[in-house]
Amino acid sequence: MSRVSAETHETNEGHEAHEETEYRVSTLELFFDLVFVFTITQLTSTLADDTSPLGFARVVIMLFVILWMYFGYVWLTNSVPPNTTVRRLLLMGGMGGFLVIALAIPNAFGAAGAAFGVGYLIVNLVHSGLFISAGGPGSAAAMARLAPFNLGSAGLVMAGGFLPPAARAAAWTAAVVLMIVSPYVNRRHGEFRIRSAHFVERHGLVVIVALGESIIAIGIGAAGLPLNLELVVAALLGLALVYQLWWCYFGREQDTRAEHSLASMTPSDRARAALSAFGWAHAPILLGIVVVAVGVKKTIGHATEHLYLSGALALGGGAAIFLVGEIYFRWRLRIGANKWRIIAAIAALATVPIGLWLAIAQVAALVLVFGALLAVEQKTQA
């Protein structure tokens, strides 16, 4: 992944003074992401235990709520490098809140709802306080206008944690709606300052984290099973599919092109593109990876059997959701054609009937779909 050594923007007197210096993702940010790994693991396990439409809807709600604030911390550390003791301690407090959220995920719509809500409020308070106090004139002012919306959504999440399951789902859904509309009601997110290299690198790392969970899912699915040819072939096909998802996101220096696209924009356009391309687009990218991981996990132990509809949909539908996010990401930053990815998303959904016949055959079919996509793109872009 590329690094940009320095990028400085200087303004004349009478304008807002701001200096942007690119820097690498810090080891503390990587440590922070280890907690996020746990949330992804918990969400994957929760969905694997309940693949019903209700179970899927609950995981989607939790994932969006969590991603909103996780991405918020990416924006935070992009503006406020964790290079002082106070900032590091506050970031540790945010990590603690995320850990509580992760621990609560399996029973978030049951007895652990209150813990989920309280953990989320802690994460939100640390984020808003640190951003407003140290984010720099433009970003801090923009965050001050956005903070009431974030605190309002956090209040809905916390209050929902004390309500019965049906009312809890309604409260948390309302929080998600508030999160989605808040940047457009506020309309000042263009004032946030974005360091392109750091921003792209950090989001790439979270995709790597999610893909790593897919590898873990292969190991969990294989736990306790005899190491025979069937298991080896199923595991290798699962690994190949995860590798192809990686290639779709990082191949042909897509991350470098994304960085250059962001860097070429004006500061306000860059902030708006960051919200859509790295917020709205990455939500389905990460959801798709989680859902594919569930499908792979269910396939490993039953490779020569048929999948139930939920498992087949997890494989084909998860791959399609991932590609939809990728398509929007590439379109928003204008970094590549999408015709073949649209076709591949449709083809991924078309593999569902194969899984209803034979699990391993659907994984193989998806590997062929992504292999053909990558080969065609390589040939057309050569």
Query: Per-residue pLDDT tens for 289-338?
Result: 999 999 999 898 888 899 999 999 999 999 999 999 999 999 999 998 89
98-102, 224-228, 243-247: which has the minimum mean pLDDT? 224-228
Q: How far is CA 73 from CA 61, 88, 101, 148, in A?
A: 19, 13, 15, 16
Predicted local distance difference test score (pLDDT) of residue 2 = 42
Instruction: Classify the phi-psi angles of 56: left when phi > 0, otherwise alpha if psi is within -120 to 50, otherwise beta.
Output: alpha
Quickly list DSSP for 177-199: HHHHHHHHHH--GGGS---HHHH
197 Cβ contact list (under 8 Å, min separation 6):
2, 3, 4, 7, 22, 259, 263
Structure tokens at 88: 């590091």
Q: Confirm if 242 and 214 have CB atoms less than 8 A apart.
A: yes
Q: Is the pLDDT of residue 188 over 80?
A: no
Model confidence pLDDT, tens digit, residues 42-76: 999 999 999 999 999 999 999 999 999 999 899 88
Model confidence pLDDT, tens digit, residues 193-240: 888 999 999 999 999 989 988 898 888 888 888 888 889 999 999 999
Domain positions in the chain:
27-191, 196-381
Mean pLDDT (the chain, rounded): 88
Q: Could you tell me which residue, 301 or 153, shows the higher pLDDT?
A: 153
Angle between helices 165-186 and 53-79 (to 10 degrees): 40
**For 149-155, what is the mean pLDDT?**
91
Model confidence pLDDT, tens digit, residues 1-30: 444 333 333 333 333 333 356 677 888 898
Predicted local distance difference test score (pLDDT) of residue 6 = 37
| Three-class SS state of 6 | coil
Q: Is the pLDDT of residue 353 over 70?
A: yes
Q: Is the pLDDT of residue 359 over 70?
A: yes
Predicted local distance difference test score (pLDDT) of residue 268 = 84
pTM exceeding the 0.85 threshold for the entire prediction: yes
Predicted local distance difference test score (pLDDT) of residue 135 = 63
Q: Is the pLDDT of residue 136 over 70?
A: no
CATH code for the structural domain at 196-381: 1.20.1410
